[in-house]
Amino acid sequence: MTTNSAGVLADTAAYAAAVEEAKRAAAAYYTAGESRLDDDAYDRLVRGIAAYEEEHPQEVLDASPTGKVAGGAASGDVPHTVPMLSLDNVFSAEQFVTWTASVERRIGRPVAAWSVEPKLDGLAVAARYERGRLDRLVTRGDGTAGEDVSHAIGTVLGLPERLGAPATLEVRGEILMTQEQFERANTVRTEHGAAPFANPRNGAAGTLRAKDRAYRVEMTFFAYGALALPGSGELTDTLAELPHSEVLEYVAGLGVHTAADTAVAPRTVTTVEEVQAGVEDIAALRATLPFGIDGIVIKADLAADQRDAGSGTRAPRWAIAYKLPAVEKVTRLLDVEWNVGRTGIIAPRAVLEPVEIDGSTVGYATLHNPADITRRDLRLGDHVMVYKAGDIIPRIEAPVAHLRTGEERPVAFPEVCPQCGSEIDMSEQRWRCTRGRDCRVVASISYAAGRDQLDIEGLGATRVVQLVDAGLVRDFADLFTLEREQLLALERMGETSTDNLLAAIETARTQPLSRVFCALGVRGTGRSMSRRIARHFASMDRIVAADAEALQQVDGIGKEKAAAVVTELEELAPLIGKLVAAEVNMTEPGATPPPEPGAEPEEGAEDGAAGLPLAGMTVVVTGAMTGALEKLSRNQMNELIERAGGKSSSSVSKRTSLLVAGEKAGSKRSKAEDLGVRIAAPEEFAELVETYLTPVA
């Protein structure tokens, strides 16, 4: 295909080749759930085709994806009662503003209200209900007719086989796989000898059409609209006149799943500025969602506005998809590196042919563990689908198996620890050096001294190496026994730097238990879990004495994690003993320990947070803090909230009790105002938790 330096199609031949490539990609995706192009590549291809057609309208080919629903997907044999259209796209705030102006010119007035909702990354379907019973499931197809996939009824969560009322209607929505369903589906597929799906979207598309499988794969449905069918009676006029937002409420009331109960619940707003705030809110939550989204859908909410705006042959003129930057791309797996973590865990890392994803160049991706490589059947040289959302570490979803050439090679697994050459414990999915923490003593000590653990200023990795090489420390407990003369004998350690380091170590000795426990680096626990454990048990001796059953009383600790924590604490007993001997603080200020087994709880002690200023409250912090809170990091703010009896959260929802809004609070403040959430300025919040400020400042 010939293009110029700007990527524009250069001539008729290049245009024809682009149309053919888009046709093949759409056919592969809509028939088998597979495509050699990722979303971003397909979007760019179609935009290039559209640009060429605008300049050369006399050359438009019938096979062109422009002007067609779903890019020209193959039609089925089930006609739609009302065309099932696609959406046009915008890619920036400027393009969105231009589009809204065109809608308002078309209807001759301002749009009364806008609905803002997530654009779910799945497959559009129509679910037809006859007198409350799910009768038929049809894909979108080419928009005029779709494929009957009623065999999938019963495998789709959120799409009940019977409604809460005997209504006759068609519910339209998206079938997708959550990340958990995707992982489970690939496990089942590989166990039955099939290649894993490349990503959740392809998984949903392929699974929906599959018949007579020897195994069952679940998917999830989210409704985005509904319309009346013949025999609907009074419901016909009702659905035709209801605002879009109320249609969603109606189908949710019948028991159909919508996005209303998710972190990205649809919202109704009245201004373009509020729409943009909603777009930013949903985009910010993208990385935390259990399902994929590739944009935000904005619709005119009122039925009258929709009717007056009308529809084209491919898309309605009253709705638009505000596309987000791509978070997945196809690239090649070049190699696998094996790195050893601070606890001796041996973790594989994929070396990739560099690819641009979500505004950054990705050259590496996580692979979790050796079993993950085997399960996904990854091979060196494979084309792989790489996924990245927000700022999380990119990861490989699966190989694109149909692009294999036969030249791919198996991944070589290490036979000994790549760090120290010791034996590898392969008894669990995550392999570990038999020397454990001793394999990576520098990494372990550096982690313990970090800002979110003991916060020992002046103790960077270079200084830790110096201390280890000099034989002064073998673990981070030895830091608390260092003497001034020992430090002064080291290179580049003058009196000032020595005294500053000793002062920082002395301050670390008084850190709360939650930070000390976090510094231990217990597998399966991090900052927030360490705080929960410390708040629950109140002292290190109670944590160490706890069995797996007692640990399961901590929020977020299940049976398997509890057993692993108990085992690891047994391994860490000598280190904990050294910390106690060094008079490191082993208690959590303000925490109330659980009652002894068999003992009657004290009155009012059912909840350890009872009586604290934030008891029972979920608190979100946003914007720049001022006053007494100005120097606190976000982790310190979270500690402060939990010490005062509350629960910290990163997103505003109906469950939020309080938003602490600093300067430039932005969209979270707007959402809190919409939901009626209490908002406090930093100064007001500092006064509320004044008693708990000193320990974390």
Residue 484, both tokens: 């001034």
Residue 110's contacts (CB-CB under 8 Å, 6 or more residues apart) are 104
> Tokens 């009957």, residue?
148
Residue 88's contacts (CB-CB under 8 Å, 6 or more residues apart) are 99, 314, 315, 320, 321
158 CA to centre of own chain:
21
Partners of 90 in beta bridges: 322
Q: Helix or strand or coil: residue 33?
A: coil
The yes-or-no answer on residue 119 being catalytic is: yes
Residue 488, both tokens: 């002064």
Q: Are 543 and 569 in contact (CB under 8 A)?
A: yes
589 CA to centre of own chain:
33
- Local structure of residue 677 (DSSP, 8 states): -
Nearest to 69 by CA among 148, 122, 141, 138: 141
Q: Helix or strand or coil: residue 25?
A: helix
Residue 12, both tokens: 């008729």
Residue 68, both tokens: 């067609």
How far apart are alpha carbons 277 and 263 in whole angstroms? 15
Q: Are 65 and 46 in contact (CB under 8 A)?
A: yes
- Helical spans, DSSP H, in 435-539: 441-448, 461-469, 484-488, 495-508, 513-519, 527-537
Residue 550's contacts (CB-CB under 8 Å, 6 or more residues apart) are 594
Nearest to 44 by CA among 294, 313, 326, 317: 326
Nearest to 357 by CA among 324, 335, 380: 324
Residue 642's contacts (CB-CB under 8 Å, 6 or more residues apart) are 531, 532, 535, 648
> Tokens 């195994």, residue?
215
Catalytic residue among 119, 299, 388, 668: 119
Q: Are 689 and 636 in contact (CB under 8 A)?
A: no
Nearest to 435 by CA among 342, 551, 313: 342
How far apart are alpha carbons 189 and 151 in whole angstroms? 19
Per DSSP bridges, beta strands 383-387 and 395-399 are antiparallel
Q: Are 439 and 350 in contact (CB under 8 A)?
A: no
Q: Helix or strand or coil: residue 440?
A: helix
Residue 322's contacts (CB-CB under 8 Å, 6 or more residues apart) are 89, 90, 91, 96, 119, 279, 295, 296, 297, 298
Residue 194's contacts (CB-CB under 8 Å, 6 or more residues apart) are none
First to last CA, the chain: 61
How far apart are alpha carbons 159 and 152 in whole angstroms? 11
Residue 377's contacts (CB-CB under 8 Å, 6 or more residues apart) are 190, 195, 196, 399, 401
How far apart are alpha carbons 265 and 282 in whole angstroms? 9
> Which residues participate in catalysis according to the annotation?
119
